[in-house]
């Protein structure tokens, strides 16, 4: 019995990508299917970084084709291709950054910066080129969390090179000021500083730039929504009612300025005792999940309140790099994959495909 492309497609339609929930044909991941006699070759192109998933998906696709009667050699090549996606109307993409993801919270103290840095590191661990911008001008924490000291260098006197550690490119006002020096600045200066950090850092071919937002819904958030090309936002909250109250305001703010919500992360979901392992929901239960149900957005995952997360981040080696195979790092990686899949499902940016139309008067 001869093999044909239709039989191969039918086999691949039974293989579901565990991250998108779609089969390889419906999700348009299977490409370049070629049948030569009894031999089959094809590419599977994922729209999100998936280093840890590639072998799993390759094996599933290979097994499905090998089950066809009369098949010979099967060669499946799985790769990730991350492209730029659409942003708010009227805002231009940065030439060297494909997707900007804002990590925000309505209030401080919910672990937003810790979540942001671990999400960035998790995306990098999955094979993406990632940067992190510390947009919290008044309380920059990324230099400490990323274990980076010193000042960025400028090669041309106008722009600056990003600082680097653990494979991430990093920009923060914290690299330019004394750690004990308070930023006694009014709103316009703060927003100008944010734009300079974003536009005058020489980001190098980023798939994702994670923006660690300051808490609240003030000047910086407004600037970000009006002038920065944001692909989507992740809201971080705790299950506590007072945190959820402010998280709702943050969510509503992004909705008003046409920035899609990629999902909600519930941090400090349950406290795990380091002595006996007893789990206790100190801040309440199910608040993040309920908020998702109320607003029709995705629940990206829940993270525990453990001493190790705090200790690792304070020491400049966040959980994803301090304990990359541990259970908490696994949670961060799962959340990061969900975020990347949500981005991949958005409309692609087509502005580069259209020519600039110039009208001249003769």
Q: Mean pLDDT over residues 220-240, rounded?
A: 83
Name the band, by pLDDT with cuts 50, 70 and 90, for residue 131: very high
pLDDT value of position 351: 66
In this structure, what DSSP letter does residue 218 have? S
Q: Mean pLDDT over residues 24-45, rounded?
A: 90
> Is 129 annotated as ligand-binding?
no
pLDDT value of position 265: 92
Give the burial class of 176: count Cβ atoms within 10 A of its Cβ; 0-12 exposed, 13-18 middle, 19 or more buried: middle
Phi and psi at residue 137, in whole multiples of 5°? -65, -40
DSSP structure string for 253-295 = HHHHTTPPEEEEEE-S-SEE-TTT--EE-TT-SSHHHHHHHHH
> Is 277 annotated as ligand-binding?
no
Phi and psi at residue 123, in whole multiples of 5°? -65, -40
> Is 105 annotated as ligand-binding?
no
324 contacts: CB under 8 Å, gap ≥ 6: 125
> Is 205 annotated as ligand-binding?
no
Rounded to whole angstroms, the maximal C-alpha distance in the chain is 82
> Is 249 annotated as ligand-binding?
no
pLDDT value of position 88: 82
pLDDT value of position 232: 92
> Is 284 annotated as ligand-binding?
no
What CATH class is the domain 5-80? alpha beta
pLDDT value of position 353: 55
pTM score: 0.88
Instruction: Say how far apart CA 177 and CA 346 lie, in whole Å.
Output: 38
> Is 107 annotated as ligand-binding?
yes
> Is 326 annotated as ligand-binding?
no
Q: Where are the domains of the chain?
A: 5-80, 97-344
Give the burial class of 288: count Cβ atoms within 10 A of its Cβ; 0-12 exposed, 13-18 middle, 19 or more buried: buried
Among 54-63, 79-88, 232-241, the minimum mean pLDDT is found in: 232-241
pLDDT value of position 247: 81
pLDDT of 251 above 80: yes
Q: What is the CATH number of domain 97-344?
A: 3.40.50.300
């Amino acid at each position: 019995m001869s093999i044909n492309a239709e039989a191969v497609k039918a086999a691949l339609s039974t293989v579901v990508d565990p991250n998108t929930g779609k089969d390889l044909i419906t999700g348009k991941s299977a490409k370049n299917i070629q049948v030569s006699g009894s031999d089959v070759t094809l590419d599977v192109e994922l729209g999100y970084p998936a280093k840890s998933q590639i072998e799993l998906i390759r094996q599933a696709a290979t097994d499905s084709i090998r089950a066809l009667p009369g098949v010979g050699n099967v060669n499946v090549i799985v790769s990730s291709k991350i492209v730029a996606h659409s942003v708010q109307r009227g805002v231009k993409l940065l030439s060297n950054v494909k997707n900007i993801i804002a990590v925000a919270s309505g209030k401080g103290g919910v672990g937003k910066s810790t979540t942001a840095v671990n999400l960035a590191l998790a995306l990098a661990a999955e094979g993406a080129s990632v940067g992190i911008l510390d947009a919290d001008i008044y309380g920059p924490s990324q230099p400490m969390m990323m274990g980076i000291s010193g000042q960025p260098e400028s090669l041309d006197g106008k722009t600056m090179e990003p600082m680097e550690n653990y494979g991430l490119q990093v920009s923060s006002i914290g690299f330019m000021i004394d750690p004990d020096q308070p930023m006694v600045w009014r709103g316009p200066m703060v927003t100008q500083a944010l734009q300079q950090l974003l536009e005058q850092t020489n980001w190098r071919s980023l798939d994702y730039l994670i923006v660690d937002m300051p808490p609240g819904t003030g000047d910086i958030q407004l600037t970000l929504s009006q002038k920065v090309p944001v692909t989507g936002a992740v809201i971080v909250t705790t299950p506590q009612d007072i945190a959820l109250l402010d998280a709702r305001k943050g969510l509503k703010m992004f909705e008003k300025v046409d920035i899609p919500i990629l999902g909600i992360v519930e941090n400090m979901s349950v406290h795990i005792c380091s002595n006996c392992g007893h789990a206790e929901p100190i801040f309440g239960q199910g608040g993040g999940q309920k908020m998702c149900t109320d607003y029709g957005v995705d629940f990206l995952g829940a993270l525990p309140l453990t001493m190790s997360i705090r200790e690792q981040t304070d020491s400049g080696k966040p959980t994803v790099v301090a304990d990359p195979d541990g259970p908490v790092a696994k949670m961060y990686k799962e959340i990061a994959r969900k975020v990347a899949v949500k981005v991949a499902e958005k409309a692609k940016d087509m502005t580069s495909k259209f020519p600039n139309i110039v009208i001249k008067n003769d």
